[in-house]
Amino acid sequence: MYHIYNIPQNTSSYHLTFATESKRWSMLLPTFPLRWFHVTITWSAIWGLKYYEDGRLVKEEVNFELTGSTHTFDEITIGRAPSSASVAFAPLTFQMSDLVFWYAFLSEAAVKEGFRLSGA
């Protein structure tokens, strides 16, 4: 996930990308709320990439592009644009309370239930 500020056009956007060795799913995200909120991101090769805020599905992307990547390691990056970005970028500035990784795809119902159980 990273933030790009396009100086000539005075636009700002947030990007979320998930990639395997040969495929990449990407989406532009809406502007983040100016308050504390819960984010859930899920991915599977079948169901694609999904972004939730406070248990509500906001955006999903099932289409992917072929990448032909030669990466041999796993990596998660929050707040840095890829080196190939052709416009200025700024790191995300935010506070994070908890970060949890599940080794299984969560259904939309499971995401809603997890948010409900969080007491938010």
User: What's the structural domain count of the chain?
Assistant: 1
Does residue 95 lie within any of the structural domains? yes
Does residue 64 lie within any of the structural domains? yes
Does residue 118 lie within any of the structural domains? no
Residue 15 has pLDDT above 70, yes or no: yes
Q: What is the 3-state secondary structure (H, E, C) of the chain?
A: CEEEEECCCCEEEEEEEEECCCEEEEEEECCCCCCCCCEEEEEECCCEEEEEECCEEEEEECCCEECCCCCCCCCCCCCCCCCCCCCCEECCCCCCCCCCCCCCCCCHHHHHHHHHHCCC
pLDDT digits 0-9 by tens, 57-93 = 999 998 888 887 655 555 666 655 555 554 455 555 6
Does residue 71 lie within any of the structural domains? yes
Average the pLDDT over 105-118 and give the result: 88
Does residue 49 lie within any of the structural domains? yes
Domain that holds residue 53: 2-112
Does residue 120 lie within any of the structural domains? no
